[in-house]
Amino acid sequence: MASVRGLTEGVPGALLPELTTERLCVRLARPGMEAALARFWTENFAGHLDRWSPPVGPAQFTEAFWRERIAVGLEEFETGRSARFVLQPRGPASGPVIGTCNYTNIVRGLSRPATWATNWPARTRDRAS
């Protein structure tokens, strides 16, 4: 059975959503995930994610890039403009990233549109469930 809880790891006053099942945890990207995100993109960009992702520079594969990107993502979440999630095996937030799911360009109003995008590693994309 899935559960949802809010966390305040490293972000004073912010509730960070987390959805947990028996095997999977979907978490808002947060400080402490920089190395895991850099590793995910390094291992999966060439030959897989590069087919539908915009061109990226070498910085995208570094912890420094993800430190800044996570900070921007948290600010966007707090202002209701995006929600950038990582998928991980159930366990600590510092564990490996096995996918991402981003809701961006959220516009408040009558229709509440958003852009949705996911990234799966090549080795698991055919067995995602």
Find the range with the poorest average confidence among 73-82, 96-105, 116-125: 116-125
Q: Quick check: 15 pLDDT over 80?
A: no
* pLDDT, mean of residues 18-39: 95
Higher pLDDT, 87 or 6: 87
26 — pLDDT class (breaks 50, 70, 90): very high
Tokens of residue 70, six digits: 């996570």
Q: What is the pTM of this model?
A: 0.75
19 — pLDDT class (breaks 50, 70, 90): very high
Q: For residue 71, what are the CA distances in angstroms to 31, 41, 45, 64, 84?
A: 8, 18, 22, 11, 11
The domain limits of the chain are 3-127
Determine the Cα–Cα distance for residues 51 and 125; give it in Å rounded to an integer: 14
Higher pLDDT, 80 or 125: 80
**Class at the top of the CATH hierarchy for domain 3-127:** alpha beta
Determine the Cα–Cα distance for residues 122 and 73; give it in Å rounded to an integer: 25
| Residues 2, 70, 95, 86, CA torsion sign | positive
